[in-house]
């Protein structure tokens, strides 16, 4: 889970979803007594001509994703009369990046004034910048653009899937605020008895403890006809269930303050987990399973939850364990 004093890193973008992610990240940093790092990947073209081309592409793909170019950036300023308009292209784009980060800082400080905040605008593709930042982060927080799986695949608008697939730290995709109506407050974790599942369970126990919440461990079985194909033989299923019980018992000893409810559901894995997490503070899953019930926490399930989880989704890689 939390490693040393590594910061909580949040990818900042100029949208309501982006600011919601900043707010969630500030709370996460406060819970762990960690600093918060605001990072904006600057994908601006190197020159105004490139901006015009990018804006045109953005207009062409407008139904699919928003172009990362401000409207004023493609205007021409012949014989500019004011100092602002005489600034170089690089200065103008840097000023816009800094203004966005300042906006995010205000959101973070208003939410949690006790958290130390640093900011960075880094030139490069958003996916590349955030993957690099994840190497030194305790958790990487992303806003959700709520794209469909097809749209994310076919455009450059989606970053959650490619970033979470390779990040070495947990990745939180904030699809909505943590609900305040759930009684009692609960953290939900998808479980399958695999090594990846154990790390997700550990993260979920810590998350529940820090929030004063209970933990609901959810195991989803597909319809009987497809069970063997999805999970392996009956013997493998039974072995995984035994390991799962041992995993939950071990973490319960470490976090005795967290009440645990174990739930088994028959149904579609993505839909079932999303439904159970409807009023949860967050949903925690492993990035992929190894052994156990094959497919329970594989990429297809995680990717599906990125697009359908009702609130904050935390994806824990196999290598992250505390």
pLDDT string in tens for the chain (322-residue length) = 555 689 999 999 999 999 999 999 999 999 999 999 999 998 766 555 555 455 455 444 433 333 333 333 333 334 444 445 445 767 888 889 999 999 999 999 999 999 999 999 999 999 999 999 999 999 999 998 655 454 444 333 478 888 888 899 999 999 888 877 667 899 999 987 766 688 899 999 999 999 999 999 998 877 664 555 555 556 666 666 677 787 788 899 999 999 999 888 888 889 999 999 999 999 999 886 433 444 444 467 888 899 889 999 999 997 644 4
Is residue 216 situated within a structural domain? Answer: yes
Do 209 and 160 share a structural domain? no
Residue 286 DSSP code: E
Do 190 and 115 share a structural domain? no
Is residue 321 situated within a structural domain? Answer: no
Residue 286 maps to which CATH number?
Answer: 3.40.50.12370
Do 238 and 104 share a structural domain? no
Cβ neighbours of residue 193 closer than 8 Å, sequence gap 6 or more:
239, 240, 241, 242, 243, 244, 247, 291, 292, 293
Do 82 and 145 share a structural domain? yes
Do 148 and 22 share a structural domain? yes
Do 163 and 26 share a structural domain? yes
User: For the segment 36-86, what is each residue's pLDDT rounded down to a tens digit?
Assistant: 999 999 876 655 555 545 545 544 443 333 333 333 333 333 444 444 544
Find where tokens 């195991």 sit.
219
Q: Pick from 138, 154, 174: which residue ends a domain? A: 174
Do 134 and 35 share a structural domain? yes
Is residue 235 situated within a structural domain? Answer: yes
Do 207 and 309 share a structural domain? yes
Alpha carbon distance 27, 35 (integer Å): 11
Which range of residues forms the domain containing residue 269? 186-316
Closest CA to 99 of 183, 38, 33, 52: 38
| Distances 104 to 19, 108, 140, 178 between C-alpha atoms, Å | 6, 6, 16, 19
- DSSP code string of 228-252: HHHH--HHHHHHHHHHHHHHHHHHH
Q: Pick from 153, 174, 195: which residue ends a domain? A: 174
**What is the pLDDT at residue 94?**
87
Give the chain's domain count: 2
Do 142 and 67 share a structural domain? yes
Alpha carbon distance 149, 302 (integer Å): 12
Is residue 52 situated within a structural domain? Answer: yes
Is residue 181 situated within a structural domain? Answer: no
Do 89 and 68 share a structural domain? yes
Alpha carbon distance 212, 258 (integer Å): 8
Cross-strand partners of 263: 218
Closest CA to 176 of 17, 15, 13: 17
Do 144 and 248 share a structural domain? no
> Do β-strands 139-143 and 171-174 pair in parallel, antiparallel, or remain unpaired?
parallel
Do 154 and 230 share a structural domain? no
């Amino acid at each position: 889970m939390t490693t040393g004093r590594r910061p909580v890193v949040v990818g900042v973008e100029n949208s309501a979803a982006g600011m919601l992610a900043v707010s969630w990240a500030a709370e996460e940093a406060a819970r762990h007594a960690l600093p918060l790092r605001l990072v904006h990947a600057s994908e601006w073209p190197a020159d105004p001509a490139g901006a015009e081309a990018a804006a045109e592409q953005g207009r062409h793909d407008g139904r699919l994703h928003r172009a990362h170019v401000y409207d004023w950036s493609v205007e021409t300023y012949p014989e500019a009369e004011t100092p602002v308009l005489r600034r170089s292209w690089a200065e103008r784009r840097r000023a816009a990046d800094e203004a966005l980060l300042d906006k995010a800082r205000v959101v973070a400080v208003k939410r949690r004034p006790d958290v130390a905040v640093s900011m960075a605008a880094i030139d490069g593709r958003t996916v590349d910048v955030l993957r690099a930042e994840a190497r030194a982060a305790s958790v990487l927080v992303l806003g959700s653009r709520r794209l469909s799986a097809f749209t994310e695949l076919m455009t450059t608008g989606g970053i959650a899937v490619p970033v979470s697939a390779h990040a070495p730290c947990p990745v939180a995709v904030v699809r909505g605020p943590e609900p305040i109506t759930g009684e009692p407050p609960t953290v939900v974790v998808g479980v399958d008895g695999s090594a990846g599942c154990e790390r997700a369970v550990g993260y979920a126990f810590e998350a529940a403890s820090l929030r004063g919440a209970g933990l609901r461990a959810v195991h989803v079985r597909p319809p009987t006809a497809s069970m063997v194909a999805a999970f392996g033989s009956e013997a493998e299923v039974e072995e995984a269930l035994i390991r799962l019980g041992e995993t939950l018992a071990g973490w319960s000893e470490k976090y005795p303050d967290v009440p645990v409810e174990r739930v088994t559901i028959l149904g579609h894995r993505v839909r079932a987990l999303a439904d159970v997490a409807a009023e949860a503070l967050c949903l925690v899953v492993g990035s992929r399973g190894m052994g156990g019930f094959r497919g329970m926490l594989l990429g297809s399930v995680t990717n599906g939850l990125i697009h359908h989880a009702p609130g904050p989704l935390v994806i824990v890689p196999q290598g992250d364990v505390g």
